[in-house]
Amino acid sequence: MAEALNSLYKAELVRGPRQRRKGMWAGIDDLEIATSDWVDWYNQRRLHGELGHVPPVEHEDAYWTGIAASKPADDAA
């Protein structure tokens, strides 16, 4: 699973078409910032097909809302 994520990272960010249009990285700092932005997008905002094409953070929020709504009132305290 880690290898698949690493391959996706390289294909989308490091060697992707957007990077080729912008040129190579000016330095390691540029790559670190871009990596941080990519990880944030991947974990928070990307549309995930297995989750009904909603971002992971929305899917998780809906899950926890459903769990809270299904608890009996006396367990809420």
Taking alpha carbons only, the member of 76, 42, 66 closest to residue 56 is: 42
Q: Are 25 and 31 in contact (CB under 8 A)?
A: yes
Residue 3 lies in a domain: no
Tell me what pLDDT residue 43 has: 85
Is residue 56 one of the residues assigned to a domain? yes
**Residue 67 belongs to some domain of the structure:** yes
Domain boundaries, position 69: 25-77
Domain count, the chain: 1
Please check whether residue 75 lies inside any domain of the structure. Answer: yes
The stretch 48-63 carries a mean pLDDT of 90
For residues 31 and 1, give the distance between their C-alpha atoms in angstroms, rounded to a whole number: 23
> pLDDT-derived band of residue 21, with 50, 70 and 90 as boundaries?
low
| Residue 70 included in any domain | yes
